[in-house]
Amino acid sequence: MTFPEFSTLAQMTRALVLGGLYANWARGAFEAPRFDGDAGLVLLGQALLIYIGLTIGLGIVVQVLSIIIAVARGEESRPGDLDERDLAIERRATVKGFTIVGMGFMGMTLALWYGWGAIAAIHVLFGGFVLADVVVNLAKFVSYWRQRG
């Protein structure tokens, strides 16, 4: 397993865990009265910032751990060793991610149109970003899996 493959597996796991936590929290957000009104918007903003911080922080931790494990195991490639296949896989996955983000934006506009309210609409938009994170890493993992010898 090359470093890009190992790193993709680790980041996919990170994305699935955080995405699941966000989905669970967002589900509760629709049901709890404390999420209504301006106070609800403040709470939502705080929660989203925490999620973004966790994504960046955990992403860095996962990457560092991947590098340490790769070096310890004497992996065939090193961080930064991306050949044309790795770049092609990354490009295709990124396109899928942008598509999901676009769908999230359209979903947000539809939610506002149907009178869902600001908090719900923001959840739809942000949910697109969360889903894109999962989809990008999952798409890369599937590409690597399919191209195994």
Partner 1 sequence: MKGQITNTIRRLRFDAGEMTQKDLAEKVGVSRQTIVAIEAGKYAPSLELAFQIAEAFGVPLQDVFHFTRKD
Binding site for partner 1 (CB under 8 A): 1-2, 5, 76-77, 81, 83-86, 88, 144, 146-149
Task: Supply the minimum distance, in Å, between the C-beta of residue 86 and partner 1.
Answer: 8
Q: How far is CA 28 from the centre of its chain?
A: 20
**Which C-beta is closer to partner 1: that of 27 or that of 85?**
85
Q: Minimal distance in Å, beta carbon 22 to partner 1? A: 32
**Least distance (Å) between residue 62 CB and partner 1:** 21
Closest CB to partner 1 among residues 38, 84: 84
CA 106 to chain CA mean position, Å = 18
Question: Locate tokens 């993992």: which residue?
Answer: 141
The helix/strand count (H/E) of the chain reads as 4, 0
Residues 6+ apart with CB under 8 A from 1: 75
Least distance to partner 1 from the beta carbon of 144, Å?
8
CB neighbours of 70 closer than 8 A, spacing ≥ 6? 3, 6, 77, 78, 79
Q: Which is nearer to partner 1, 25 or 145 (CB)?
A: 145
Cβ nearer to partner 1, comparing 126 with 144: 144
